[in-house]
Structure 1
Amino acid sequence: MIRAAAFVTLCALCTSPALAVEMVRLPDAAAAKYAPAPASLPKGTLLATIQGDPSKPGPFALRIKFPPHTVVAPHTHSADETLTIFSGVLRHEMGEKLDMAAGEKVGAGGFVYLPANMPHSVWTEDEPVELQVTGTGPFGLNYVNPADDPSKTH
């Protein structure tokens, strides 16, 4: 009897509107609706929210388009992050200092998983890059050096 009551309670919690996650279907890449990214990302960056809201609790998926020669200086995120590269070659470097000579290349189909609070930087070279970022909110970008935050110069 106690197990049955616990199961019913668990089912009620899982179907609660506050915890509900709706199905999302994106029929193809062209269906993603891009707009200028927040000021905390370099100028010219485009972003499409595919699922969820990264500023709120719960899962999210974003598509990002970086133009050529874009640098996102060393930063961290308060939650785990995954990157999946769709097109182009993204350079990725771990650490609190930007060393563009040391960054690893991650090409189309490549994947990067970053635990919360791990400092890293990304940049593009001569071609644009499109990638997907997934994680759980609330999620944000915290620059290691606050002077690197592009929103401070807009």
Structure 2
Amino acid sequence: MKNILIALSVAVAGVGLGAPASRAETAHHMMVSPAELKWADVPSLPPGVKIAVIEGPLNEAVPITFRLKFPADYKLPAHWHPGIEHVTVMSGTFNMGTGDKLDTTKTNPLSAGSVAIMAPRTQHFAWTREEAIVQVHGMGPWGINYVNPADDPRKK
């Protein structure tokens, strides 16, 4: 594996910014099972991805945790985020690379259990062959900026 640790995180402006309704929670303790996750569409990503916000809201300067479910044969164009990204692959293989254009030959395959960390403003991209679920955590607010503005689904 290359020496560069890479990561994906995704902003989800306007999508389920709160945590799931059914969970065990106190002011300093929370437990959530996979069955309790509430999946929603992600308008800031090309169609097909689903998000489940675990901790948030994503648009505030608070700790955030969310999962993204990517379908098979998905391509996420080159983009960057204003904050650091911490990504853990929960299932499937998530292929990630750095640069200003998606190039499937220049990626690292990250299998379940893999972790990637991306510094703020690092241009990167991703793709899948099979369904993959990743968990992203960090500090909000979260944002996504596409290298090529024409790739931004919010502008279509």
Counterpart amino acid of residue 130 in structure 1: I
Deviations 1:88-144 (A, max 9, x none): 00000011121111111000000000111111011111x100110111111100001
Contact residue 76 and residue 102 of structure 2 kept, 8 A: no
Report the equivalent of 2:66. 62
Classify the secondary structure of the residue corresponding to 1:75.
strand
User: Counterpart of 2:113?
Assistant: 109
Where in structure 1 are there 5+ consecutive unaligned residues?
A: 1-21
- Are residue 42 (structure 1) and residue 46 (structure 2) matched? yes
Tell me the TM-score normalised to structure 2 length: 0.79
Alpha-carbon separation, structure 2, partners of 1:151 and 1:136: 23
Question: 1 CA distance for matches of 2:148 and 2:126?
Answer: 15
What letter matches 1:75 in structure 2? H
* Residue pair 2:90, 2:133 contacting (<8 A) in 1 also: yes
Alignment match of 1:74 (pick from 61, 65, 78): 78
- The answer to whether residue 70 in structure 2 is matched with residue 30 in structure 1 is no
Separation of aligned partners in 2, 1:130 and 1:23: 26
Matched pairs, number: 131
Normalization by structure 1: what TM-score? 0.80
Contact in 2 for aligned 1:24/1:51 (Cα 8 Å): no
Regions of 4+ moved over 3 Å: none
3-state DSSP of counterpart to 1:25: strand
- Structure having the higher Rg: 1
Between structures 1 and 2, the one with greater helix share = 1
Structure 2 segments unaligned to the other structure (5+ residues):
1-26
Superposed CA RMSD: 1.5
Quick one: distance in 2 between partners of 1:79 and 1:56? Answer: 12
